[in-house]
């Protein structure tokens, strides 16, 4: 999309039947702003980024954040930061779609 | 606050009668996640960050983004990215409070 412009992020979600859908809203060497779209039951396995901090912001739906062996309940409006090297993931445990904004700095 | 933990960002807003209130949710050399809290009529004047990209996410309320001489209407759920060097600001033109999450990479 053109930037800078005001957008509704949910309009850019990509839903896939076979696995979590990913889309990118903005990317520079410093910052990656993307969407992770989870159909019910879909997940993003525990992983870590060396040298990158990641901010999650739940736009709608509900599920759990996977974090260092723990599962943390989350719902729309919740925020989690996974700093450099901290293993993290997401699972949609709800009955509906789960849409999460993921912000990575710097871009991996 | 402790991280990583799931938070409700609005719980950390700081409201001030004299000017926009600022609070920090997370900070590292790579990433600053903060809140800008605007009472009705309050604003954050046009400014720019050299070498830093900034993501705005409107949590609630309504107003305008100031951007390179333009005013862009915004409301809860809207997102704007002001890349490196692009002058930007915010004004609460609504009747209620305006809360905006501001994400800067790298931290200025």
* ipTM rounded to 2 decimals: 0.94
For A104, which DSSP code?
Answer: E
φ, ψ of residue A20 in degrees (nearest 5): -50, 135
Pairing of the two strands A88-91 and A43-47: antiparallel
* pLDDT value at residue B1: 46
Q: What is the pTM of this model?
A: 0.95
Q: Does the beta-carbon distance from B7 to A55 stay under 8 Å? A: no
Please report where in the chains the tokens 């901290």 appear, as a residue. A86
Q: Give the whole-number percent of chain B exceeding pLDDT 70.
A: 97
Mind telling me how many Å the CA of A106 is from chain B's nearest CA?
Answer: 7
Q: Does the beta-carbon distance from B83 to A53 stay under 8 Å? A: no
* Mean model confidence pLDDT for chain B: 95
- Distance between CA atoms of B45 and B66, rounded to whole angstroms? 8
Q: Is 90 exceeded by the pLDDT of residue B44?
A: yes
């Amino acid at each position: 999309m053109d930037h800078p412009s005001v957008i509704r992020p949910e309009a850019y979600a990509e839903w896939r039947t076979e696995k979590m859908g990913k889309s990118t809203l903005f990317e520079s060497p410093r910052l990656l702003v993307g969407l992770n779209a989870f159909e019910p039951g879909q997940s993003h396995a525990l992983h870590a980024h060396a040298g990158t901090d990641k901010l999650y912001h739940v736009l709608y739906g509900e599920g759990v954040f996977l974090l260092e062996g723990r599962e943390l309940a989350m719902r729309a409006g919740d925020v989690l930061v996974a700093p450099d090297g901290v293993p993290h993931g997401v699972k949609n445990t709800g009955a509906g779609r789960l849409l999460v904004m993921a912000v990575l700095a710097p871009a991996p």
